[in-house]
């Protein structure tokens, strides 16, 4: 049961009307024609919508939303009205009849126009808060004196999430109590946002999310349509549900921001890094802050005495960007791992050997030991599976059926995040077990994995355990993002089941009445003494048509050391999903703006390209077995939802260089950049 599908009596259907201006002020909304249509209940606009009791901009540390509280247009595709009717078709028709008049204002969606106003911004994400800039050693002197160096600018375009299930929300009021069925990655964040907006105690807001048809970060925040659905339901006194259309997914609910990254790398004659500078600029909206922490990867990846990283933001007249699978590490690893490949090529050193020469035994930035690493084994086993020893080092030498063939590789890494979580375990007299936690399953198999963890901890058959999630009336769990769910919730489930087992042992076995136990976990002080990351190695083979410039990825091999694997089948799917997304990042994805209109023009799956079946040939992830890492979290899990995409785009770009001799530093790699 997806959020839009819950059977609630008396439902009304809402369809958003969105702005076709990038910036302006609404002067009038003509809804007369729409309101005359059969079945149309209302058209809500900034001129007749109720005012939020909690204020126009409920500040919960989350995204700033637009919910008809003023006449400002801040970006193209912003919600400016809502047509509500008794059927979806009538609401869709009514929305098409609404006419919005607005005064246009000057705008820009071009990063180049605002580079002069770039400003530093601290990094806040699942791993905590860190400074925008960091300097260790004397980078400037090392670069100046270096025998071998590479200085280049790498660019990643704005990208848009396209999960199969669009964003959708159903809001139901009962007096001063609100129940929301929402397509979200974090039910407690939605509860917090709605409680603030409507000036309610959090206990008066219940959020339910049983299944999510893909999230990848875009459903990690409560966006405008969530608050609009609750507002409309309150104002009209009926349940209201809203699903975004595919074109409305572009701009309203975030996306990966554009980045411009300058890398300066230097090495001595033996191939050891002596300087690394990584400067990243990413885009955000005028009214909110989101930073893509692209340079973070350079703080931890390689041993180097002189390292400088910088993060800057540029404000544009766009919707606020947001988390997109491996935010920061995916875009940052493209730049860093491409530059590493360039320097290895200049030195005449094999790319794997070059990385091994600069292998970090301890965290280069903090000097802490890694809780576990096994990256050497990733290089070794990945190269063996891929057949790296057969690689042709010189470009343009290998042909297959008239196509240029190239191979490339890159390092993958992602923080091993872990945060506070709780769970409840209950055994019934018949021996069946119910375990609950307010987590969300966004497709990774949380229902299955947590039932496995509970069964193993309790020593009962898997078939006897049912795991339930996705309800704010359950024990609190973190948002399903940042590769935190398995590590955090599995640890909480283990804690609850151990506590239940102790109770059962004290009772002498199966209870006559239901017995339950609560478990809660949180990061320990001991954890702070270590560097905590997952690592991997990506290997890619490409074929390039020399006449058409078309690139096809024929093989991807990824070797990953990601702690304890809870379910090999589900883990394989997670790794494959990330690696396939790496193909999309490298070759396809680009949210293209019309700079004169300020609109994203690639607003559906005909124009916004993602890999199809014919683009994906062999994707081969392998797991590196490691001893249980009990430092990273009690369950020994590092999280695998995001590491699969890190390094993948760089490995493909490096393979394209190996095939063609042309270095493409701006994604996606399209034929025009190779011909």
Q: Which residues carry out catalysis?
A: 642
Looking up tokens 């098409």, which residue turns up? 96
Beta-sheet pairing, 403-415 with 533-544: antiparallel
Instruction: Enumerate helices (H) and strands (E) in the chain, giving the number of each.
Output: 14, 29
Asked whether the bond before 668 is cis by omega within 30 degrees of 0, the reply is yes
Cβ atoms of residues 629 and 372 within 8 Å? yes
- Find, among 2, 6, 19, 13, the residue nearest to 598 by Cα: 19
- Find, among 67, 54, 60, 290, the residue nearest to 193 by Cα: 60
Rounded-to-integer distance, Cα 241 and Cα 227, Å: 11
* Cβ-Cβ contacts under 8 Å for 209 (sequence gap 6 or more): 3, 181, 182, 183, 184, 187, 440, 470, 471
- Find, among 22, 24, 26, the residue nearest to 71 by Cα: 26
Radius of gyration over alpha carbons of the chain, in Å? 26
Question: Can you state the angle between helices 329-347 and 568-587, rounded to 10 degrees?
Answer: 70
Q: How far is CA 365 from CA 124, 281, 340, in A?
A: 18, 21, 18
State the SS3 of 447-486. HHHHHHHHHHHHCCCHHHEEEECCECCCCECCCCCCCCHH
Question: Residues, the chain, total?
Answer: 675
The alpha carbon of 500 is separated from its chain's Cα centroid by a whole number of angstroms, namely 35
| DSSP annotation of 564 | -
3-state secondary structure at position 374: coil
Q: Give the other-Cβ count within 10 Å of 605's Cβ.
A: 13
Rounded-to-integer distance, Cα 440 and Cα 443, Å: 9
Rounded-to-integer distance, Cα 232 and Cα 42, Å: 9
How big, in percent rounded to 5, are the helix, strand and coil portions of the chain?
30, 30, 40
Q: Give the other-Cβ count within 10 Å of 555's Cβ.
A: 18
Rounded-to-integer distance, Cα 108 and Cα 593, Å: 10
- 103 is written with which tokens? 């005064």
* Cβ-Cβ contacts under 8 Å for 430 (sequence gap 6 or more): none
Cβ atoms of residues 623 and 571 within 8 Å? yes
State the SS3 of 110-122. CHHHHHHHCEECC
Concatenated DSSP letters for 291-351?
Answer: ---GGGHHHHSB--S-EEEEEEEEEESS------SSTTHHHHHHHHHHHHHHHHHHHT--H
């Amino acid at each position: 049961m997806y959020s839009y599908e819950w059977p609630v009596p008396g439902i009304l259907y809402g369809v958003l009307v969105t702005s076709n201006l990038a910036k302006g002020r609404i002067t009038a909304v003509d809804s007369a024609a729409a309101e005359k249509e059969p079945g149309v209940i209302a058209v809500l606009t900034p001129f007749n919508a109720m005012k939020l009791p909690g204020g126009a901009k409920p500040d919960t540390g989350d995204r700033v939303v637009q919910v008809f509280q003023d006449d400002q247009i801040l970006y193209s595709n912003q919600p400016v009205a809502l047509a509500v009717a008794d059927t979806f078709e009538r609401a869709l028709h009514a929305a098409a009849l609404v006419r919005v008049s607005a005064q246009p204002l000057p705008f820009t969606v071009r990063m180049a126009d605002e580079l002069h106003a770039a400003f530093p911004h601290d990094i806040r994400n699942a791993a905590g808060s860190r400074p925008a800039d960091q300097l260790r050693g004397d980078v400037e002197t090392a670069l100046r004196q270096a025998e071998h160096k590479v200085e280049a600018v790498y660019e990643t375009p704005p990208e848009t999430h396209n999960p199969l299930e669009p964003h959708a929300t159903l809001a139901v009021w009962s007096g001063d109590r609100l129940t929301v069925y929402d397509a979200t990655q974090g039910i407690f964040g939605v509860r917090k946002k709605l409680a603030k907006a409507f000036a309610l105690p959090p206990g008066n807001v219940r959020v339910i999310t049983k299944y999510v048809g893909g999230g990848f970060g875009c459903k990690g925040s409560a966006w405008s349509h969530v608050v609009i659905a609750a507002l409309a339901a309150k104002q009209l006194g009926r349940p209201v549900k809203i699903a975004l259309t595919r074109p409305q997914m572009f701009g309203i609910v975030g996306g990966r921001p554009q980045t411009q990254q300058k890398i300066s790398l230097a090495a001595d004659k033996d191939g050891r890094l002596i300087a690394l500078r990584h400067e990243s600029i990413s885009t955000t909206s005028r009214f909110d802050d989101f930073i893509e922490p692209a340079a973070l990867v350079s703080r931890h990846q390689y041993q180097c005495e002189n390292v400088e990283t910088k993060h800057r933001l540029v404000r544009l007249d766009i919707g606020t960007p947001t988390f997109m699978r491996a935010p920061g590490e995916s875009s940052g690893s493209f730049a860093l791992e491409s530059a590493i490949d360039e320097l290895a090529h200049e030195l005449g050193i094999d790319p794997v050997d070059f990385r091994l020469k600069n292998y970090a035994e301890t965290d280069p930035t903090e000097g802490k030991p890694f809780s576990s690493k096994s990256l050497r084994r990733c290089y070794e086993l990945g190269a063996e599976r891929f057949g790296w020893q057969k690689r042709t080092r010189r470009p343009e030498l290998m042909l297959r059926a008239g196509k240029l063939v190239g191979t490339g590789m890159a390092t993958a890494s992602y923080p091993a995040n872990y945060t506070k979580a709780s769970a409840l375990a209950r055994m019934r007299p018949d021996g069946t077990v119910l375990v609950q936690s307010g987590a969300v399953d966004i497709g990774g198999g949380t229902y299955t994995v947590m039932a496995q963890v509970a069964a193993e901890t309790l020593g009962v058959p898997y078939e006897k355990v049912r795991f339930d999630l996705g309800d704010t009336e359950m024990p609190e769990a973190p948002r399903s993002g940042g590769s935190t769910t398995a590590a955090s919730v599995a640890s909480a489930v283990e804690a609850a089941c151990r506590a239940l087992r102790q109770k059962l042992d004290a009772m002498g076995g199966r209870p006559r009445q239901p017995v339950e136990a609560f478990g809660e976990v949180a990061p320990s002080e001991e954890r702070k003494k270590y560097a905590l990351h997952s690592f991997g190695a990506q290997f890619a083979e490409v074929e390039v048509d020399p006449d058409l410039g078309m690139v096809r990825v024929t093989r991807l091999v990824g070797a990953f050391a990601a702690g304890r694997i809870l379910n090999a089948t589900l883990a394989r799917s997670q790794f494959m999903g990330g690696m396939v997304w790496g193909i999309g990042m490298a070759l396809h994805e680009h949210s293209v703006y019309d700079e004169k209109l300020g609109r994203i023009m690639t607003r559906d799956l005909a124009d916004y390209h993602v890999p199809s079946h014919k683009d994906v040939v062999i994707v081969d992830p392998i797991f590196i077995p490691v001893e249980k890492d009990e430092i990273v979290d009690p369950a020994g899990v590092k999280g695998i939802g995001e590491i699969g995409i890190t390094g993948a785009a760089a490995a493909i770009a490096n393979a394209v260089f190996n095939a063609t001799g042309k270095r493409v530093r701006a994604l996606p790699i399209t034929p025009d950049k190779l011909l």
